Amino acid sequence: LWSCFCMKILSVLPLSKKAAQGFSLMLTQHAWRAALFFSPWVRRFPAGDIRVEWKPILDYTKAAEAAEADDNKEAKKQPVFILGNHTSFFDTMLATAVFPARVLWRCRTYMD
């Protein structure tokens, strides 16, 4: 409920669309993380070292952010499309909770 309230406040602030969407996704991520944390009947166990799994995407994201900062049109990176094989509605909530913040900030699938 508090994240919905914060998102309403964000909608009246003079933010760019990209920044407002990024902040909304971060609030959503923290709300899902809090919900999972306070649900003792739900346990999450990663299947290995998730930092190794996310490293290629994080490196690509870091390079894309550097290219955007340089304003070099030729060096701009293509967007990354992350496709999930959903088997339940819980998958979306869990994916939002466990994505690295840098990757989630650039996601627009749920917003556009």
The CA distances from residue 56 to 31, 60, 97, 111, in Å, are: 27, 6, 19, 24
Model pLDDT, residue 88: 81
Is residue 111 very low, low, confident or very high in pLDDT (cuts 50, 70, 90)? very low
Is residue 76 pLDDT above 70, yes or no? no
The CA distances from residue 110 to 19, 105, 106, in Å, are: 15, 11, 11
CA distance 20 to 6: 11
Tens of pLDDT, residue by residue over 89-109, are 888 788 888 888 888 877 765
CA distance 69 to 53: 26
Tens of pLDDT, residue by residue over 21-67, are 788 888 888 888 888 889 888 887 777 777 888 888 888 888 877 77
Q: What is the CA radius of gyration of the chain?
A: 16
CB 94 within 8 A of CB 44: yes
Per-residue tokens: 34: 């809090």
Is residue 69 pLDDT above 80, yes or no? no
